[in-house]
A and B are shown apart, each in its own frame.
Chain A
Amino acid sequence: MIYVLYVIVSVICVYTARHYWFTLNRLFAFQRHPYIDIDTADWPPVTVLVAAHNEEKVVANILSALMTVKYPEDKMLVIPVNDRSTDRTREIIDEFVERFPGRIRPFHRKDGKGGKAAALKDAMELVETEVILIFDADYIPGAGLVKQLTAPFFDPEVGGVMGRVVPMNCGTNLLTRLLDLERSGGYQVDQQARMNLRLVPQHGGTVAGVRLSALREIGGWNDTSLTEDTDLTYRLLLRGWKTVYQNRSECYEEVPETWPVRIKQIKRWAKGHNQAMVTYGLRLLLGRHRASLRERIDGTLLLGVYIMAPFTLLGWALALGVFYQGVAPLHGIVAILSVTAYAAIGNLAAFFEIAAAVRLDGSRRRVSLVPFLILGFAVSIFAVSWAAVSQVKDALTGAEFHWDKTERFRKAAS
C-alpha cells in the first residue's frame, strides 16, 4: 500500500512542478507569437464550419459575426453544420443563406450518428479548401479572428490551430466566475506556455482550425471519440503535424451557468480525454514517430490530467489508511518535511497558475475569488472520478458512449 502511495505522490509532484514551470515561463520567459504579425498575405480560401445542434438561441449571433469579419468575401465560405436540430436552427440558418447569397452553404443533417465529430465528418463532403476553421455555435468571432486563425497555416508544419476562448457570461454567478478563472489559467498560462516551450498545445475543437491535407492524412474526424479535439491533437502529433496556439486570437464563448450542466460537460471531457489516453498514451511515449522527447513527455502528462482526479482520491484514501495503520513512511521526519513542503507549495500550484493568468489578463479584483476555486476543484475531482469509474464500467459491459450537448443559457436573438 505504501509503495502505491509513493507512486501517486510522485506523479502529483510531477504535475505540481509542471504547473510552476508553465507559470514561471509565462511570467518571465520569451513569449512566442510567430504568426500573429501576418496581416497582409495572399489569403487562402477558407471554409468555416459552425457546429450547431439545437442552437436557435445562439446561431444567429455567430452567423452575423462571421458575415462581418475582415476576410476576402470570395475566399471564405461558411458551412453551418445543422446536426439533426429539432428547434428553429434550420429556419434561422436558411434566413441567413437568403440574406447572404453565395457566402453560406448550409449542411442540414437529418439523421446519422450523434456527436459533433460525426456531424463534422459528414459535412466534409462539402469542404474543398485546404484551410478549415471550426466554431461551436455559441461563439462570437471578432473581425480579425478568421485571418488570425488562418495565418499559421502558411507554416507547412502546422496541421492545427487553436485560439483562446473567453467567457462572455462570466458575471452571472459563482460558477461562471470560477469557470472564467479556470479558462484564464488554461489558456493564458497553460496553452501559451506550451506554445512557448514547443510542447503540445491542445486543439480545442472550436475557435480552431485544421489543415485539410493533414486531416485526410490522419484519417479524418474520429466519430468514436467523445472529445474529437483531443483525439485530433494526438493524431496530428503522431503524424508530425504541429498544433499551434494563438493567445491573441480571442473569441467569446458561453460557459455553463448551472452545476449540473457543468458536471455533465466536465464528465464528457474526462471520458474523451481518458479515451485518448488509452488509445494514444503508450504510442506517444514509446512509439516510433516524429514527436520530440519534450512533446512525448508533455503530451503524456496532458493525456493524464483527468485520470489524476481518481488517482488523487486514491492517494487520500491510502494516506488515511497508512496513517491509521501506524506506518511511518520514509522514516518519519522526511515524511513530515515532505508533507509540510508540499502543503506550503504543492497545493497552491494550480491556484498560483490561475492567479498569474488573471494578472496577465490585466484583471485585478477578480483574483480575490481564487480561494473559491477549492469549491470548483472539489466538484470536479468527484465528477471526473465518477466519469472514470463509469467509463471502466461501460468498457466492461460494452456500453456505448453517449454524447451530451452542453445546454445554452443565452436568450434567443430577435
Chain B
Amino acid sequence: MSSFFAVVGLILLTSALWLLPLVPALAELHRKSDASPLSVIQQHTGEIRFFADGFRAYMKSLEPVLRECVSSGTHASGTMPDGSEYLVLGRGEEALFLPLREQNEFRPVMIVSGSDLLLPPETNFSKDIYSAGSVIGGTKSRYRAILADHDVRLGPDSSVMRWVHAAGEFSADSGCSLCGRVSSDTGIRLSEECSFLRLNAPHIVIGSEADSSPATPQISADEPTPQRLFHDGDFEIRAGEVFEGNLVVRGRLRIGTAARVRGSVKSEKEMVLEPYVSVEGSLISASIMQIGADCRIRGPVIAERVMLIRKNTHCGTLANPTTVSAPDIQVERGVVVFGTLWARELGQVVADL
C-alpha cells in the first residue's frame, strides 16, 4: 500500500514540477492582461507636423482667452484641464519683462502669445510655446517646443529639445542645436556650426542665400530610364560622361566631374561624387557617401553610414522635393535641400569638410 502511495506521490510531484512553469502562462491566459493587439501606427505619427498639429488642437480651448488678452492688451494665466499651467500674453514683448524667471528658468508654464513673441536671452523654457505671430528668441536659450503662425528665429547657441514648427520661415543663428523635428511651411535656414536631426520645409538653406551659387548643372525632369546595369567590384563613371539607366555597383563607385546620370545609382560600398555631377534619379549608398560641390540630385539621397555634402549642392527641386537621409550628415554652407534633411544620429553644419 505504501509503495502505491509512493508511486502516486512521485507522479503527482513530477506533474507539479512539469506544470510549474505553466502557472504564469495559465494565469495570463485566464486574465488576458496583455492580450490586446500590438499598437500599429494607423495615423502616421511619423508625419513631421504630428506634434505641432497635436499641440494646436490642445490649445484650442485657450482661443477665447487669447482673443480677450489681445483686444485688452493684457495677460492672463490659468491651468489647463490636465493640470498644466499656462500664461497667455496679449502683447508678445511682455515676455521680456515678466518677473517669472527663477535662476534663468521660466517657471514651467506654457506660453501662448497673440502677437510676435520676443523672448529673453539665456533662459530655459521647459514648456511648449505658441505664438500667433513670430517667435524671436535671445541668445543661449533652451526651448522644449515652439509653434508659430509666422517666423521663428533662434538666437546664437540656442537649443530645441523636441520640435519646432513655423508657418513662416525658421532660422537658427550659429551654434544652435536642434534636437528634434523642425519644420516650416516656407523655408529653413541654418547658420554655421548648427547641429540638427530632422528638418522639413519646401527649401532648406545651409548658410545664406548668397552662399549658394546658381552656376551649376540643371537636372532634367525626364523620367529616368528603367534599364539596370549591374557591376561586381568597383566602378567609375568618367568625368563628363552621360550614363543612361539605373546602376548597381557591388563595390565602390566614383562619379567623375560634371558627369550626368540619367537614372538612379546604388553602391554597396563608398560612393564619391566629384563636383558638378547631376543625377536624375536617386543616390543610395550602403556605406559612406561624399557629394562634391555644385552637384544636382533629383531623387532621394540615402547613405547607411555617413554623408558629406559640399557647398552649393542642391538636392531635389522646388517642384520635386526629396529626402536626404543618413545616420551622420555633415553639410557645408550653400547646400540647399528641397524637402527633408534627416540625420538619424547627428547632422552638422561645418565650414569646410
Find out whether the CB atom of B321 lies under 8 angstroms from the CB atom of A143.
no
How many angstroms between the C-alpha atoms of A192 and B320 in the bound complex?
31
**Residue numbers in B under 8 Å from A170 (CB-CB):** 35-38
Find out whether the CB atom of B300 lies under 8 angstroms from the CB atom of A250.
no
Find out whether the CB atom of A177 lies under 8 angstroms from the CB atom of B42.
no
Find out whether the CB atom of B33 lies under 8 angstroms from the CB atom of A252.
no
Using CB atoms, name the residue of chain B closest to A143. Answer: B44
Nearest-Cβ distance from residue B182 to partner chain A, whole angstroms: 14
A371 close to chain B: CB less than 8 A: yes
Mark interface residues in A156-173 (1 if CB within 8 Å of B CB, else 0).
110000000011111100
A376 close to chain B: CB less than 8 A: no
Q: Chain A: interface residue count, which band?
A: 35 or more
How many angstroms between the C-alpha atoms of A4 and B315 in the bound complex?
60
A111 close to chain B: CB less than 8 A: no
Given A240-B230, A365-B28: A154 and B40 interface contact (C-beta under 8 Å): no
Find out whether the CB atom of A290 lies under 8 angstroms from the CB atom of B230.
yes
A400 close to chain B: CB less than 8 A: no
Using a Cβ cutoff of 8 Å, how many contacts connect chains A and B?
A: 141
Given A34-B302, A168-B37, A365-B28: A39 and B48 interface contact (C-beta under 8 Å): yes
Mark interface residues in B29-58 (1 if CB within 8 Å of A CB, else 0).
100111111101111101110000000000
Mark interface residues in B223-246 (1 if CB within 8 Å of A CB, else 0).
000101010100000000000001
Using CB atoms, name the residue of chain B closest to A361. Answer: B38
How many angstroms between the C-alpha atoms of A42 and B25 in the bound complex?
50
How many angstroms between the C-alpha atoms of A207 and B47 in the bound complex?
20
**Residue numbers in B under 8 Å from A140 (CB-CB):** 42
**Residue numbers in B under 8 Å from A372 (CB-CB):** 22, 25, 29
Using CB atoms, name the residue of chain A closest to B304. Answer: A34
Mark interface residues in A356-376 (1 if CB within 8 Å of B CB, else 0).
000001011110111110000
Of B68-76, B115-123, B156-164, B337-345, the stretch lying at the interface with chain A is: B337-345
Find out whether the CB atom of A368 lies under 8 angstroms from the CB atom of B323.
no
Given A39-B200, A142-B41: A156 and B299 interface contact (C-beta under 8 Å): no
Of B80-88, B103-111, B124-132, B258-266, the stretch lying at the interface with chain A is: B258-266
Find out whether the CB atom of B340 lies under 8 angstroms from the CB atom of A370.
no
**Residue numbers in B under 8 Å from A40 (CB-CB):** 200, 316, 321-323, 339-340
Find out whether the CB atom of A37 lies under 8 angstroms from the CB atom of B344.
yes
Using CB atoms, name the residue of chain B closest to A373. Answer: B25
Find out whether the CB atom of B44 lies under 8 angstroms from the CB atom of A144.
yes
B65 close to chain A: CB less than 8 A: no
**Residue numbers in B under 8 Å from A144 (CB-CB):** 41, 44, 46-47
**Residue numbers in A under 8 Å from B263 (CB-CB):** 156
Nearest-Cβ distance from residue A22 to partner chain B, whole angstroms: 20
**Residue numbers in A under 8 Å from B29 (CB-CB):** 174, 177, 369, 372
Pick from A38, A70, A142, A156: contact of B40, CB under 8 Å: A142
**Residue numbers in B under 8 Å from A240 (CB-CB):** 230, 248
B210 close to chain A: CB less than 8 A: no
How many angstroms between the C-alpha atoms of A168 and B35 in the bound complex?
10
How many angstroms between the C-alpha atoms of A142 and B44 in the bound complex?
7
**Residue numbers in A under 8 Å from B299 (CB-CB):** 41-42, 154
**Residue numbers in B under 8 Å from A180 (CB-CB):** 37-38
Find out whether the CB atom of B266 lies under 8 angstroms from the CB atom of A157.
yes
B281 close to chain A: CB less than 8 A: yes
How many angstroms between the C-alpha atoms of A35 and B344 in the bound complex?
12
How many angstroms between the C-alpha atoms of A79 and B302 in the bound complex?
31
A155 close to chain B: CB less than 8 A: yes
Using CB atoms, name the residue of chain A closest to B24. Answer: A368
How many angstroms between the C-alpha atoms of A334 and B119 in the bound complex?
75
Nearest-Cβ distance from residue A113 to partner chain B, whole angstroms: 30
Which residue, A40, A250, A364, has most C-beta atoms of chain B within 10 A? A40
Please name 20 pairs of A and B residues whose Cβ atoms are closer than 8 Å in the assembled complex, sorted by A: A37-B344, A38-B300, A39-B46, A40-B321, A40-B323, A41-B322, A70-B47, A140-B42, A143-B42, A155-B264, A156-B228, A156-B248, A171-B36, A180-B38, A213-B226, A240-B230, A290-B232, A363-B34, A366-B28, A372-B22
Given contacts A41-B339, A156-B266, A168-B37, 18 further A-B contacts (CB under 8 A): A39-B200, A40-B321, A41-B299, A42-B322, A142-B40, A143-B42, A143-B44, A155-B284, A156-B246, A156-B263, A157-B248, A170-B35, A177-B35, A213-B226, A240-B248, A252-B40, A365-B28, A371-B22
A positions within 8 Å CB-CB of B: 32, 34-35, 37-42, 70, 130, 140, 142-144, 151, 154-157, 166-171, 174, 177, 180, 184, 213, 240, 248, 250-252, 290, 361, 363-366, 368-372
